[in-house]
Amino acid sequence: MADGKIEVLLSGPPKPTIVNGLAPFLVHRLADAKDRDAFLKEIGPRVRAIASSVTSDAIGAGLMSKLPKLEIVSTFGVGYDHVDVAWAAEHGVTVTNTPRVLTEEVADTALGLILCTVREFPQAERFLRAGKWVGRGYPLTKATLRDRTVGMVGMGAIGQAIARRLEAMKVPVVYHSRRPAAGAACRHYPKLLDMARDVDIIVVITPGGPETKDLINADVLKALGPNGILINMARGSVVDEPALIQALKDKTILSAGLDVYVREPDVPAELIAMENVVLFPHLGSASVYTRTQMDQLVVDNLNAWAAGKGPLTPVPETPWPPRRSS
Ligand code: 8YV
């Protein structure tokens, strides 16, 4: 503790809300370290908390094990597959994320991506800008929401917010998840393949990580069928990307709308070359309003922990108070 302040390691860019909010702490910025190993060797023994301002920088066992006094990792984002939670749980380190404050924003984006993909709005806009409207109208779209059922993969808070929007638009919704979700009134499919056969659009909104890796594979896409549309709002890892590219090329499915990719920000050139896909640059929660609330929750979690009240939103794998095995 320098000057009585708790020392915090900041991973990711120094966003103003986070930097200002962490004023009560002594903050060390990982991004500024010229020699990362030497930097961690020097400050590591004093660091008690990590603040992570992005989901794109991994917080792995290698980093956390260099911080023997680490008690908490407060990360930005509802998804926390970039944090090795199994290691954290085993070592009594609490991980917090930023749920709820982004739910409605991500659901809005999902609805936008669904509509853009089904009705080809970005393609039609490109058509107008290219001066092609003069000769003829944009072709009628093959797809419509009017005769489709949506199958959600994942029915957590964001899944339910998407389902509410679709139901308000009179679109029938069903879902697949390992267990039926509390509070979801629509039909639950225990088997993903069964649901894929019955629906016309799959919307993926389930956590990333090893348990869901390549969940949407060639078999699921085949079951979705030639009129089918895949929407991915979750993590690139949930979809077998080469299988998706193949399915789009072969017309095994009709089209896809993607907000996330396996190696962001690298998007496969094959996808970029396709007209039957709509590609968003991971926009889910990307408004100033919502991102500020997410940044603030990163700070609030650390302040609540430092005040001895316990963090506000620990993830289920690392409940508060922590169970230290050593
Ligand atoms: C982030 C997200 O905007 O919260 C999450 O898990 O995926 C998004 O809200 C994204 O991670 C940007 O880096």
Q: According to the model, what pLDDT value does residue 145 have?
A: 98
Share of the chain above pLDDT 90, in %: 95
Band (3; pLDDT cuts 50, 70, 90):
confident
Residue nearest to atom 9 of ligand 1 (CA): 285
Mean pLDDT of the chain: 97
Answer yes or no: pTM beyond 0.75: yes
**Which sequence spans correspond to the domains of the chain?**
7-99+289-306, 103-279
Between the CA of 127 and the centroid of ligand 1 the distance, in Å, is 31
Is residue 264 annotated as part of the catalytic site, yes or no?
A: yes
Is residue 91 annotated as part of the catalytic site, yes or no?
A: no
Between the CA of 77 and the centroid of ligand 1 the distance, in Å, is 5
Residue 16 pLDDT greater than 90, yes or no? yes
The Cα-based distances of 31 to 12, 38, 61, 229, 318 in angstroms read 6, 13, 18, 40, 26
Ligand 1 and 282: CB distance under 6 A: yes
Residue nearest to atom 13 of ligand 1 (CA): 55
Topology agreement, domain 7-99+289-306 and domain 103-279: yes
Both tokens assigned to 202: 């799959």
Residue 325 pLDDT greater than 70, yes or no? no
- How many helices (H) and strands (E) the chain has is answered by 12, 12
**Which CATH architecture is the domain 7-99+289-306 placed in?**
3-Layer(aba) Sandwich (3.40)
CATH code of 103-279, in short, is: 3.40.50.720
Residue 2 pLDDT greater than 80, yes or no? no
Q: According to the model, what pLDDT value does residue 158 have?
A: 98
Is residue 282 annotated as part of the catalytic site, yes or no?
A: yes
Q: What pLDDT digit, counting tens, does each position of 27-45 carry? A: 999 999 999 999 999 999 9
Residue nearest to atom 5 of ligand 1 (CA): 77
Q: Ligand 1 pocket check: which of 53, 55, 212 to mutate, most ligand atoms within 8 Å of Cβ?
A: 55
DSSP 213-274: TT-B-HHHHHHH-TT-EEEE-S-GGGB-HHHHHHHHHTTSSSEEEES--TBTTB--HHHHT-
Q: What pLDDT digit, counting tens, does each position of 292-315 carry? A: 999 999 999 999 999 999 999 999
Mean pLDDT over 57-78 rounds to 98
